[in-house]
A and B are shown apart, each in its own frame.
Chain A
């Protein structure tokens, strides 16, 4: 297990390095306006001085080396337009807590709603809950989230009689963003749990338990649910981390001062160093999520061995 974890960690680090290199090289192709907060007012000489100062006139490989060295010291660079001169790490440190709270809450809610729904669907095959859940899942999966978020915001704020924008101190304004964020994961938890439970229910040990006269409720809780939940554990860290970095869409819709809204902001202001830093952070979070999922899976279910691994995950 340890050997596997280390190997998996090494490959994750390698992947992250490749991603950073690619992102870095791609962003060098962007117009240089994105490094100045007052590009129009500067003459050619001043621009060159600033570029040299920022190290942007160095060969790409040198820049890359500098970037990695800084990164290892926890320095993500400084913002150029969004909040000129502020270290990016500081900006993110200010923004992250809201996203983390929101992510944890929405995760909790989606587990609370999704798992009972999935279990109810599996139990009442082609009954009410199954039909209701299927309709819900089809809706959430088929309709772009961008669309139903808007409607939740419009009609939700009207129904609750609150403003459309988020206020940190007012807990009522937390409800809609957190609820919106949790819908997607709720649907996917319900869908996967139902599928895994139905698979488990058709297995021989369940038939044996039934033949022995174990009550249906007990079979469901003690056998089917437990076994069906194992493959789902793999996805929980990844989805938690994704929600923590904030659904980009929900946060900017409600003007939540979190990390997701930040990405939209810096893109619209063409702040190259910040786009670069945020893309690296998001990729890093994604990689860590998958890594944790795989390791957690191995820890929880001893039957799974990773001796021969194929493909990803």
Chain B
């Protein structure tokens, strides 16, 4: 690579000296009088030097788009952000603090493993099932109508290889005929009817098909079934009846936590909270940092004062300030934002101050001042554009940083309460359950979302800063 570059450079130098020599030759060979002719003003030639097709923002965008990783991250992040704000508007979402209960029992649906609502069976019309109303809308259904205790006699009225129809307690139903039920059958089992029994407890089914998959109860709505026997009794399916695994057509995509709150809703709500904190902190960092930095660099009388203040604050570990402020103030979003903003602006202000000290006395600024441009205008028009890349970088990094600080503060016990879901308290709640492997999903989902956000902001911020640096523009 280096060798290639070197040889290219050499060739370029050769070509240039050729060019110069030629120019010199023509000049020397020219008539002396012609060399000293007054050049007329030529508008088009003047335009030629004044025009460049370089545009700062155009080049920045072009360089940024060349970085495929950054573009990928930008896409992911944009989709994620979009989704966080769309999510509450989607149909069938739980509230982040709503506690879901099993309508059948009234018990909280706590620590439900992540699962989608799934239609396990779609039945044709006319299938008889045993149903139980659990609330106005939902029915729990199974095709088990009753249990027969072990060693009870019942009348077998029809024999089949897999299923036998029986009569017991005045009801007609079907029992499975397999190695598990171990029906005590006579020598010719087809000679029905006869008394029969089993050594084990038997389930009696309404139909000779096991929809409920060994006793698991399914859930369905009145749209799918017709009630025949009042509140608890026989129901008949309508055409296309759907049996679901949870008494809801809503899903627990990320499962539920220990008091039955939907983790899916909480994660997105928490993402919104954390991003809000991040964005506001980034905004304040930029606002305070730029203002202080420009004053610090541009107004000489303030230099000493601000430098001293900077030294004092910068000497204290940031974490300690964060902890101290959160300890003294009541835990809330504004406390967190205040505590983080208190230290974040320092780095930004110092960088801007240093840049301004370098730039402020360059010729074009002197010229500007001589022409009577106001200080405000010089700051905004002449100085600020130089600082865009670093301002953007620091703002982009402020967001993952703020999210991380929030996680930390919550861990210490000074963060937001659990009524305000944030990525910090979700992770903290999940962390407490980490010892049991089956509940680890409660930690993993928030951490995955958090990691995607922070890594994306970090990569985008860095590549944007590279792209915004004019040195990288070709």
Contacts and interface: CB of A to CB of B under 8 A. Distances in A.
Interface of A: 11-12, 15-16, 18-19, 23, 26-27, 29-30, 138-139, 141-147, 150-151, 153-154, 164, 242, 248-249, 252, 263-264, 267-268, 275, 279, 282-283, 286-287, 290, 310-312
A142 B407 contact: no
Nearest to A146: B407
26 contacts: A15-B311, A15-B315, A23-B324, A138-B459, A139-B455, A142-B455, A142-B458, A143-B450, A144-B400, A144-B404, A145-B404, A146-B411, A150-B434, A164-B435, A242-B317, A249-B408, A264-B412, A267-B327, A267-B414, A279-B320, A279-B324, A283-B320, A286-B320, A287-B316, A310-B307, A312-B307
A141 to B, nearest CB: 6
A155 to B, nearest CB: 10
A138 B353 CA distance: 28
A26 B407 contact: no
Nearest to A286: B317
B353 A311 contact: yes
Contacts of A138: 455, 458-459
> Binding site of A, secondary structure by majority: helix, strand, loop or mixed?
helix
A286 B316 contact: yes
A27 to B, nearest CB: 7
B335 interface: no
B443 interface: yes
Given A144-B407, A146-B407, A286-B317, A267 B413 contact: yes
Interface residues of B, number: 42
A267 B412 contact: yes
Interface in B173-231: none
B312 to A, nearest CB: 5
Interface string B451-472: 1001101110000000000000
Nearest to A270: B327
Contact of B413 (A30, A150, A264): A264
Nearest to A242: B317
Nearest to B317: A286
Interface string B399-420: 0100111011001111000000
B90 to A, nearest CB: 27
Contacts of B357: 310
B440 to A, nearest CB: 8
Contacts of B311: 11, 15, 312
B291 to A, nearest CB: 17
Given A26-B328, A144-B404, A311 B413 contact: no
A18 B316 CA distance: 11
